Amino acid sequence: MTIKEVSEKYHITPDTLRYYERVGMIPPVTRSPGGIRDYQEEDLGWVELAICMRSAGLPVEAMIQYVKLCRQGDSTWEERLHLLMEQRKALLGQKRQIEDTLERLNDKIKRYEDAIRTGQMG
């Protein structure tokens, strides 16, 4: 797939794809004999992972470190596991914070709905 096709498929800009590759958030993309990016299934898997992790708030640095470890081979499994577990811990903390915020918002919304229905703020 061309960079244009990949950008359209995942709704991100070609510049974003180039950035992901340039900083190491994804490994170097397969190239055609002429040097043009030619995304293969493995490349798309990395793009999907990068998009997923970024949308979840994973720091760019953590993604870069993960890619570096993957490229170093099987001897880095333990380090990769630790990195992913730390990121999961951080995301669970964010999830708890979001859930607490949603609970507060739901309470406020209910108060306003009740006030509109009854004509009184309770």
pLDDT, tens digit, 9 for 90 and up, residues 44-74 = 999 999 999 898 888 999 999 999 999 999 9
DSSP 50: H
Helix (H, G, I), strand (E, B) or coil at 11: coil
Return the beta strands (E) in 4-109 as ranges. Answer: none
pLDDT for position 62: 93
90: its two tokens:
């951080």
pLDDT for position 121: 84
Environment class of 80 (CB within 10 Å of its CB; exposed 0-12, middle 13-18, buried 19+) = middle
Cα–Cα distance between 55 and 10 in angstroms, integer? 12
Backbone angles phi, psi at 31, to 5 degrees: -120, 150
pTM for this structure?
0.77
Cα–Cα distance between 46 and 77 in angstroms, integer? 17
Give residues with Cβ within 8 angstroms of 2, minimum separation 6. Answer: 36, 37, 38, 39
Mark the ranges of the chain whose per-residue pLDDT is less than 50. Answer: none
